[in-house]
């Protein structure tokens, strides 16, 4: 996302913000893991890193950590709750 219009937090040029969701009926069934197993190699091929935001109370934060994301900030978002900004850099 460009610095002048980020969804949550602009991090760096060429670092896109990843936004994924899993339908409630599929939460806990491995859908998020399958999405990330596909998306991370695809992103690695075209950019040096990806960033995402996850609400502080969302258990998906652990999933993102398992895939190498690290928390770089904690911010208030537009709906009045707080989110972690998480970064996954590629070697």
Q: What is the mean pLDDT of residues 70-89?
A: 88
Under a CB-based contact definition with an 8 Å cutoff, are residues 52 and 69 in contact? Answer: yes
62 occurs within a structural domain: yes
The 3-state DSSP composition of the chain as helix, strand, coil percent (nearest 5) reads: 25, 25, 50
Q: How confident is the model at residue 62, as a pLDDT?
A: 96
Q: For the chain, first and last CA: distance in Å?
A: 21
50 occurs within a structural domain: yes
1 occurs within a structural domain: no
Q: How many domains does the chain have?
A: 1
Q: Retrieve residue 58's tokens.
A: 């969302």
**Residue 30 confidence (pLDDT) above 70:** yes
pTM: 0.84
9 occurs within a structural domain: no
């Amino acid at each position: 996302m460009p610095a002048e219009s980020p969804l949550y937090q602009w991090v760096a040029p060429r670092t896109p913000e990843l936004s994924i969701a899993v339908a409630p009926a599929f939460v806990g069934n491995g859908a998020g893991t399958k999405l990330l197993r596909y998306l991370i190699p695809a992103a690695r091929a075209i950019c040096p890193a990806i960033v995402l935001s996850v609400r502080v109370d969302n258990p998906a934060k652990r999933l993102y950590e398992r895939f190498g994301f690290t928390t770089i900030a904690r911010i208030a978002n537009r709906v009045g709750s707080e989110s972690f900004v998480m970064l996954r850099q590629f070697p």
